[in-house]
Structure formats: structure tokens, C-alpha cells
Amino acid sequence: MNKAPVHVLAVPCTEEEFRRFEDLIFAANDARHDVRLGARADLAAFVNEHGRAKCDLMMVALANHHDKPAES
């Protein structure tokens, strides 16, 4: 996995951090109750470790990333 810094709205994070955040966000909205609860606990720990401001910016970048139309 690429560990080079990714600049997400002027907040540097690694590709690994961004992908982990993305995985946690999607798992926190999973239809399975046990997956959702575990992911929400893991997401809270992730936010505590990386900071709320950084995670807020990663959320905006994640939303922008998924709003892009598919390339043909």
C-alpha cells in the first residue's frame, strides 16, 4: 500500500489513513448491527487518535471523491 502523504484539503494524511477512514465510514453504515457497532467504536478511536479536524476534512474529501462521475 502507498504510504506517501495524501493532501486532503491541506491536511496531509497517508493513503493508508484515508483508506482506513473510508472503510470505517462505510462499515459504520453497514446493515449488519454487529458490524455497525464495531465500526462505530473503531471510528471513535480513529478520531481520538487523528483528531476531529483532520477527520472532518477527510470526510469532506471522501464525499467529494464519491461524488465524482465515473470515468468512461
pLDDT, tens digit, for every residue of 28-70?
999 999 999 999 999 999 999 999 999 999 998 888 877 766 6
Residue, of 31 and 8, whose pLDDT is higher: 31
Answer yes or no: is pLDDT of 9 > 60. Answer: no
Rg (CA), the chain: 13
Q: Which three cell numbers stand for residue 6?
A: 495524501
* CA nearest neighbour of 57 among 6, 16, 23: 6
Whether residue 8 has pLDDT greater than 60: no
Give me the pLDDT at residue 64, please: 84
pLDDT at 20: 96
Task: Count the neighbouring beta carbons within 10 Å of the beta carbon of residue 26.
Answer: 13
For residue 1, is pLDDT > 60? Answer: no
| 11 φ/ψ angles, rounded to the nearest 5 degrees | -115, 110
